[in-house]
Amino acid sequence: MDRTKVRNLVLVLGDQLDPDGTAFDGFDPDRDAVLISESKEEASYVPQHRMRLVLFFSAMRHLRDALEKRGYRVFYGALDDRANRGTLAGELKRRVKASRPERVIVTEPGDFRVLDDLKAAAKRLEVKLDVRTDGHFLDSVADFALYAEDRKQLRLENYYRRLRKRHDILMKGEKPVGGRWNFDADNRERLPDSNSAPKPKRFEPDQTTREVIKLVESQFPDGPGDPRKFDYPVTPAQARRALDDFIAKRLPDFGRYQDAMASGQPFLYHSLLSSSLNLHLLDPRDAIEAALAAYADDKAPINAVEGFVRQVLGWREFVRGVYWWKMPDYADLNALDADLPMPALMWDADTEMNCVRQSVAQLVEHAYAHHIQRLMVLGLFAMLLGVRPYDVHRWHLSMYIDAVDWVSLPNVVGMSQYGDGGIIGSKPYCASGNYINRMSDYCKDCRFDPSQATGDKACPITTLYWDFLSRNRNRLKGNRRMGFQFKNLDRKSAGERRAIKRRADRLKSHLTAKTYL
């Protein structure tokens, strides 16, 4: 038999590391082979947090080892392999030329650009490309499009209820378990000063991860973050241990403190499962089932379990659906005409704003900030300042352990920057420093006062909040959910509004004087 020739070449991308994913359906170890490649282009098209690079490369190498143990033939392109062409298309060409497959099989990528590149590469190489539905998700891209097409307006709540019914999750017949679909109202507690969340399970790097850490240190000496501090799960077994640890120790309080923020507590009661889910080390069904089992065993209350299910089943599937339904145009949306660059302080935490400084510093340290820090501190600050939504997304891809295009783009351009003009959410998430003061302890150690919009102690978030409302008044005045905020703006005198504008203009030019991207 000609060992150089293969029947099917299964291309596995860095965010599809499930050894039983749809791309392996019908895999015949005697005739088929796998291609996994560490791509310099993917690792550097935006500057990337070095823990994120370690995560991807280490998890890919662990998958390679697991597949080889099964007896699969794996063509692996290590980043420092001299033959590695550095791009996915280049690597595909090299392997297709050498092994002359009848077809290349890939699971739907998580990035529109990658899908486009692969289609173009396959066409050039005159090889069949079989793009398979991604079985990792509970809904499919095609079903979401059918659902979305006849609706005037998309809303998470309706979509989420539909999935709950369809998959019979937290249902008692036709009714929701606990008598309500939504327990958000119970999930807005501030963390008491004396409360300290149990630390999440972390993972000591093994030999493979240590080699990757060295590689990342040498190849990406200037990227953000310290790769030597890497401690995320890199295999399905580790991801399962991280899930079990979350369910036992943090799920019971996940709901009530879901919106809280606290100095020195970067993870609080959050699960830290997003990177494992997004690389497909963990199946969302397993995460949901584990939470439901904790509820059935009386180990976690309904507000926590429903809150967690809403994130994994609701938001995660919803944003993916919107991404594929609206791409490629979605990436360019900028409904509020925001045109400033991302300030350098979002990379280096060099700012007196304590909320922003703490959130960015923890991001550099762990490549992680939890949802409310993303939405109501970092995203809020960027939106109030008026940063271009796509630039915020690029920054996001650079800094977060869990960022993949399909999930970052709708969350950033849509949910946090309102660049999509209301496809994801019904109004901008805009608030003053008073919100941050209510939900965190950041303001007590800050030199600014969240209640002041002008003067030396004025909180920049508060100044920019009023300025945001003024400058977007015409764009947003038709939005009834903004009525209360505009009414409060109208209570300000003309003199106050002028002073706010002067201070906001100074802040904008001062804060964006230094940029990195």
Interactions with ligand SF4, residue window 169-208 (CB under 6 A): none
Residues with Cβ within 8 Å of residue 364, at least 6 apart in sequence:
49, 224, 225, 347, 348, 349, 399
Binding mask 240-279 for ligand FAD (x = CB under 6 A): ------------------------------xxxxx--xx-
Residues with Cβ within 8 Å of residue 368, at least 6 apart in sequence:
266, 267, 272, 362, 400, 401, 402
Binding mask 326-365 for ligand FAD (x = CB under 6 A): ----------------------------------------
For residues 291 and 380, which CB has a smaller minimum distance to ligand SF4 in the complex? 380
Q: Is 353 in the site for ligand SF4 (CB under 6 A)?
A: yes
Q: Is 420 in the site for ligand FAD (CB under 6 A)?
A: no
For residues 123 and 444, which CB has a smaller minimum distance to ligand SF4 in the complex? 444
Q: How far apart are CA 42 and CA 65, in angstroms?
A: 22
Q: Which does 459 bind (CB under 5 to 8 A by kind): ligand FAD, ligand SF4, none?
A: ligand SF4
What's the DSSP call for residue 337? -
Q: How far apart are CA 79 and CA 74, in angstroms?
A: 15
Instruction: List the helix and strand counts (H, then E) for the chain.
Output: 24, 7
* Of 112, 220, 400, 468, the one binding ligand FAD by CB under 6 A: 400
Residues with Cβ within 8 Å of residue 6, at least 6 apart in sequence:
31, 32, 33, 73, 99, 100, 101
Q: Is 316 in the site for ligand FAD (CB under 6 A)?
A: yes
Q: Is 343 in the site for ligand SF4 (CB under 6 A)?
A: no
Interactions with ligand FAD, residue window 276-295 (CB under 6 A): 277-278
Binding mask 283-312 for ligand SF4 (x = CB under 6 A): ------------------------------
Helix, strand, coil fractions of the chain, as percent rounded to 5: 55, 5, 40
Contact between 84 and 37 under an 8 Å Cβ cutoff? The reply is yes
Tell which residue, 231, 229, 274, 226, has the closest CA to residue 50. Answer: 226
Part of the chain binding ligand SF4 (CB under 6 A), chosen from 80-88, 143-151, 216-224, 351-359:
351-359
Q: Minimum distance between the CB of residue 392 and ligand FAD, rounded to whole angstroms?
A: 8
For residues 205 and 379, which CB has a smaller minimum distance to ligand FAD in the complex? 379
Q: What angle in degrees, to the nearest 10, is found between the helix axes of 112-125 and 88-99?
A: 30
Residue spans of alpha helices (H) in 203-353:
207-219, 236-249, 251-254, 274-278, 284-296, 302-309, 316-326, 345-348
Q: Which does 160 bind (CB under 5 to 8 A by kind): ligand FAD, ligand SF4, none?
A: none
Residues with Cβ within 8 Å of residue 499, at least 6 apart in sequence:
454
For residues 121 and 261, which CB has a smaller minimum distance to ligand SF4 in the complex? 261
Q: Tell me the two tokens of residue 454.
A: 């002008």
Q: Give CA angle at 222 (219, 228), nearest 5°.
A: 70
Q: Which does 446 bind (CB under 5 to 8 A by kind): ligand SF4, ligand FAD, none?
A: ligand SF4
Q: Which does 437 bind (CB under 5 to 8 A by kind): ligand FAD, ligand SF4, none?
A: ligand SF4
Binding mask 440-459 for ligand SF4 (x = CB under 6 A): --xx--x-x-x--------x
For residues 357 and 370, which CB has a smaller minimum distance to ligand FAD in the complex? 370
* Of 11, 260, 407, 461, the one binding ligand FAD by CB under 6 A: 407
253 SS3 class = helix
* Of 280, 370, 394, 508, the one binding ligand FAD by CB under 6 A: 370
Contact between 366 and 489 under an 8 Å Cβ cutoff? The reply is no
Q: Is 312 in the site for ligand FAD (CB under 6 A)?
A: yes
Q: Which does 375 bind (CB under 5 to 8 A by kind): ligand SF4, ligand FAD, none?
A: ligand FAD
Evaluate the omega torsion of the peptide bond into residue 328 and state whether it is cis, within 30 degrees of 0.
Answer: yes
Binding mask 414-443 for ligand SF4 (x = CB under 6 A): -------------------x--xx----xx
**Number of residues near ligand SF4 (by CB under 6 A):** 14
Residue ranges binding ligand SF4 (CB under 6 A)? 353-355, 433, 436-437, 442-443, 446, 448, 450, 459-461
